[in-house]
Chain A
Amino acid sequence: MSKQNQEIEDFVGGQYKHGFVTDIQSDTIPPGLDESVVRLISKKKKEPQFMLDWRLQAYAHWQTMPTPAWAHVHYPPIDFQEISYFSAPKSADDAPRSLDEVDPKLLETYEKLGIPLHERARLAGVAVDAVFDSVSVATTFKAKLAEAGVIFCPFSEAVQEHPALLEQYLGSVVPYADNFYACLNSAVFSDGSFVFIPKGVRCPMELSTYFRINEAKTGQFERTLIIAEEGSHVSYLEGCTAPMRDENQLHAAVVELIALDDAQIKYATVQNWYPGDAEGRGGIFNFVTKRGDCRGNNSRISWTQVETGSAITWKYPSCILRGDNSIGEFYSVAVTNNFQQADTGTKMIHIGKNTRSTIISKGISAGRASTAYRGLVKVLPGATGARNFTQCDSLLMGDRCAAHTFPYMEVKEPDAQIEHEATTSKIGEDELFYCRQRGIEEEDAVNMIVNGFCKEVFKELPMEFAVEAQNLLAVSLEGAVG
């Protein structure tokens, strides 16, 4: 055990009271991970026993798991003892009080991204802690949501207020033993979002969350759990940003979605974690497990993602089509530039009868970046009448980048209809010259062509988000051509 961990152990043990207070005042517990850290996190959050037990089981299991090696992403080994696993929000006194106190560079970026002013303030950490930000949204609209019976709150609040729901659903889609990073998350997750839509309710507004990593050398491990009861509808948006840092930071989140009979969940992500600089220094390692369970008949889950950030992205938002006639959808735009790597895709597991899935994946690579699509369509015995349509398009900008497509299929029902289309194209000199000849500047022409390429995915996003996504693409690909 490291010296620091020994100290934590001491805090938790004998000197606990004093140590606890001290820790609350400081921002971050020292780097390092062992069982005492897991206990400390749970204790700080005043969690019930079942939560602690679950975390400890996860931690014990995690220690037995080898670090995964993936074919198409390359990165130096992560030293899990170098990371701090808990970073409490700075006290409100330290936060900037108005936009005037915020670094103008940061504001400029937000403006470029087209993030609305009030959102910019929240992102910049004005008045609200920025580590996890759904609190303010929840508070603002709490009354309206409560009227409809919708619960939307930070995960740690749900642990206190709705333990029975958590005990029933937590880990029911992504068990802690699922994979290395999900397991780590289960042991040490700090906070996240909880959404519950009761029977028959259409959530009266879009729910949205902005995540932000702001502390150096911390990992971010949040969990999102969304439960849509029979016949309910919800649309959820998630945005992510992180400040620039020279060192890599780990983000290992878990998202679980549960749709009961006739329920619909739309989950959209615009991910813009810091990608590292043009030389490949720094950036977020984004290793995320997202899975939706169409548990009920006629249920529907759709994932839409626009991934422009992170040094490395590894994620496969998936759907388990358990209910008969259930529908899973995956719409993705993944952009990589400079030295970014993205390995993303989806899994559609057809279990119920007459289940349908649609996969539209658009990968864009520029600079020396590489994008891989990895998709699995699995039709289990008994899943008669299953249908899947997959379309994977790759767009290359320049000749030092790469795109790979790995479609896997396992079909155990002969009447399944599986369609797969894939294209790879280069952002042509010809198209660019054509636009420029008409007077459209090169960068604008690139954006226009790229947005055209992504159109099928962007139209799945709510209006404001679609605009933000387009702007994001423009920022990410700045200087990619020429």
Chain B
Amino acid sequence: MRKNNILLDINKLSVSIGDKPILRDLSLQVAAGEVHAIMGPNGSGKSTLAQVLAGRAGYEVSGEVRYLGEDILDFSPEERAWRGLFLAFQYPVEIPGVNNVYLLKAALNAQRKYRGEAPLDAFEFLTVIKEKMKLMRIDESFLNRSVNAGFSGGEKKRNEILQMVVLEPRLAVLDETDSGLDIDALKVVASGVNTMRDPERAIVLITHYQRLLDYIKPDKVHVLADGRIARSGGPELALELEEKGYDWLRDEAASA
């Protein structure tokens, strides 16, 4: 029963850049309806994992990543996106001259096309996005601005979550979306994520802070260190990390 619910199944994934290994034989399963948190020291490979899941080129990749039952490692980034895989970037890019709404409408309609649904026209789309913007407490002036251009760090992160709630992915990977947010923004982002919780959907939160997990209760917490999942547990693991840092894990790994 449980097996059938697995949305994301990573099996012995190894990733390197040039001859620098970053992930080594990493395995991880995420079931539909679950929220997982991935923590870990700087440079441990969390963003690399997220980027590889989303299909970024430039890595040597081996192993298997099954998503919705398919091995997706040979899929292009857009093919993965069409199947409902979403990545909120740690560093969202600025695209001058390209309107926010325009990008998001193109994105949504590309995914609708894949699903065989009719494209939304400008009016229908505006109705959708305005409602979601209200939820994310984003000002309407944002509609006419270029993608992330001149946005503050926090605004960029909020924009990522807005895109997520509009695109309604099956699997959302959020790479440090909580970093750089003030406390109010953090609550808004958390509530955005919480509205996404659904038995059909899974969310992977990459974060450094236990604080986020006060607002979004994870089902599982993993620690990524030395290129693999060094430890997994429940929410209590995050509290333990908050208290002790990562060194004890490293020591454990060294003595093992």
State the A residues within 8 Å of B (CB): 428-431, 433-442, 444, 448-449, 451-456
Contact at B54–A440, with CB atoms within 8 Å?
Answer: no
A434 and B163 CA atoms in complex are apart in Å by 12
How many B residues touch the partner, as a band? 20 to 34
Contact at A449–B98, with CB atoms within 8 Å?
Answer: yes
A438 and B87 CA atoms in complex are apart in Å by 8
A429 and B89 CA atoms in complex are apart in Å by 14
For chains A and B in complex, what number of residue pairs have CB atoms within 8 angstroms? 79
Q: For residue A442, which residues in chain B have a CB less than 8 angstroms away from its CB?
A: 76, 78
Q: Which of A428, A431, A439, A453 contacts B107 (CB 8 A)?
A: A439
Contact at B107–A434, with CB atoms within 8 Å?
Answer: no
Looking at the assembled complex, report how far the CB atom of A473 sits from the nearest CB atom of chain B, in whole angstroms.
13
Tell me which residues from 86 to 118 in chain B have a Cβ below 8 Å from any Cβ of chain A: 86-87, 89, 92-93, 95-99, 102-104, 106-108, 110-111, 114
Q: For residue B110, which residues in chain A have a CB less than 8 angstroms away from its CB?
A: 438-441, 444
Interface centre among B77, B82, B167 (most CB of A within 10 A): B77
Q: Which of B81, B92, B95 contacts A452 (CB 8 A)?
A: B95
Is there a chain A Cβ closer than 8 Å to B211's Cβ? Answer: no
A453 and B146 CA atoms in complex are apart in Å by 11
Tell me which residues from 3 to 59 in chain B have a Cβ below 8 Å from any Cβ of chain A: 54-58
Q: For residue A451, which residues in chain B have a CB less than 8 angstroms away from its CB?
A: 97-98
Question: Top 4 A-B pairs ranked by shortest CB distance?
Answer: A452-B97, A452-B98, A438-B107, A439-B81
Q: List 11 A-B contacts (CB under 8 A).
A: A434-B89, A434-B93, A436-B55, A436-B78, A437-B55, A437-B87, A437-B89, A439-B78, A439-B111, A441-B110, A448-B98
A444 and B106 CA atoms in complex are apart in Å by 9
In the complex formed, the residue of A with least CB distance to B89 is A434
Q: For residue A440, which residues in chain B have a CB less than 8 angstroms away from its CB?
A: 78, 103, 106-107, 110
Query: Which secondary structure dominates where chain A touches chain B?
Result: helix
Contact at A434–B92, with CB atoms within 8 Å?
Answer: yes
Interface centre among A428, A438, A440, A441 (most CB of B within 10 A): A438
Q: Which of A431, A444, A456 contacts B93 (CB 8 A)?
A: A431
Q: Which of B80, B97, B114 contacts A455 (CB 8 A)?
A: B97
A437 and B92 CA atoms in complex are apart in Å by 12
Tell me which residues from 148 to 177 in chain B have a Cβ below 8 Å from any Cβ of chain A: 163, 167
Contact at B56–A433, with CB atoms within 8 Å?
Answer: yes
A34 and B114 CA atoms in complex are apart in Å by 63
Contact at A436–B77, with CB atoms within 8 Å?
Answer: yes
Q: For residue A430, which residues in chain B have a CB less than 8 angstroms away from its CB?
A: 93
Contact at B98–A439, with CB atoms within 8 Å?
Answer: no
Q: For residue A436, which residues in chain B have a CB less than 8 angstroms away from its CB?
A: 55, 76-78, 81
Contact at B95–A431, with CB atoms within 8 Å?
Answer: yes
Say whether, besides A439-B81, A440-B78, A441-B78, A448 and B111 are in contact (CB < 8 Å): no
A478 and B146 CA atoms in complex are apart in Å by 24
Q: Which of B102, B114, B163 contacts A448 (CB 8 A)?
A: B102
Looking at the assembled complex, report how far the CB atom of B249 sits from the nearest CB atom of chain A, in whole angstroms.
31
In the complex formed, the residue of A with least CB distance to B108 is A439
Q: For residue A454, which residues in chain B have a CB less than 8 angstroms away from its CB?
A: 97
Interface centre among B56, B95, B104, B108 (most CB of A within 10 A): B95
Contact at B78–A453, with CB atoms within 8 Å?
Answer: no
Q: For residue A441, which residues in chain B have a CB less than 8 angstroms away from its CB?
A: 78, 110
Q: For residue A434, which residues in chain B have a CB less than 8 angstroms away from its CB?
A: 89, 92-93, 95
Contact at A438–B95, with CB atoms within 8 Å?
Answer: no
Contact at B96–A452, with CB atoms within 8 Å?
Answer: yes
In the complex formed, the residue of A with least CB distance to B76 is A436
A128 and B91 CA atoms in complex are apart in Å by 56
A145 and B97 CA atoms in complex are apart in Å by 38
Q: For residue A433, which residues in chain B have a CB less than 8 angstroms away from its CB?
A: 54, 56-57, 77
Q: For residue A439, which residues in chain B have a CB less than 8 angstroms away from its CB?
A: 78, 81-82, 107-108, 110-111, 114, 167
A442 and B57 CA atoms in complex are apart in Å by 13
Say whether, besides A428-B93, A448-B106, A437 and B81 are in contact (CB < 8 Å): yes
Looking at the assembled complex, report how far the CB atom of A427 sits from the nearest CB atom of chain B, in whole angstroms.
10
Q: For residue B80, which residues in chain A have a CB less than 8 angstroms away from its CB?
A: 437
Looking at the assembled complex, report how far the CB atom of A149 sits from the nearest CB atom of chain B, in whole angstroms.
41
Contact at A453–B77, with CB atoms within 8 Å?
Answer: no
- New contact pairs (6) apart from A433-B56, A433-B77, A435-B103, CB-CB < 8 Å: A436-B81, A438-B104, A441-B78, A448-B102, A451-B98, A452-B99
A452 and B111 CA atoms in complex are apart in Å by 22
A455 and B87 CA atoms in complex are apart in Å by 28
Q: For residue B89, which residues in chain A have a CB less than 8 angstroms away from its CB?
A: 434, 437
Interface centre among A439, A442, A455 (most CB of B within 10 A): A439
A435 and B104 CA atoms in complex are apart in Å by 9
A456 and B146 CA atoms in complex are apart in Å by 13
In the complex formed, the residue of B with least CB distance to A423 is B96
Say whether, besides A437-B54, A453-B96, A454-B97, A448 and B78 are in contact (CB < 8 Å): no
A433 and B102 CA atoms in complex are apart in Å by 17
In the complex formed, the residue of A with least CB distance to B92 is A434
Q: Which of A428, A431, A437, A448 contacts B77 (CB 8 A)?
A: A437
A438 and B78 CA atoms in complex are apart in Å by 7
A187 and B45 CA atoms in complex are apart in Å by 69
Q: For residue B146, which residues in chain A have a CB less than 8 angstroms away from its CB?
A: 452
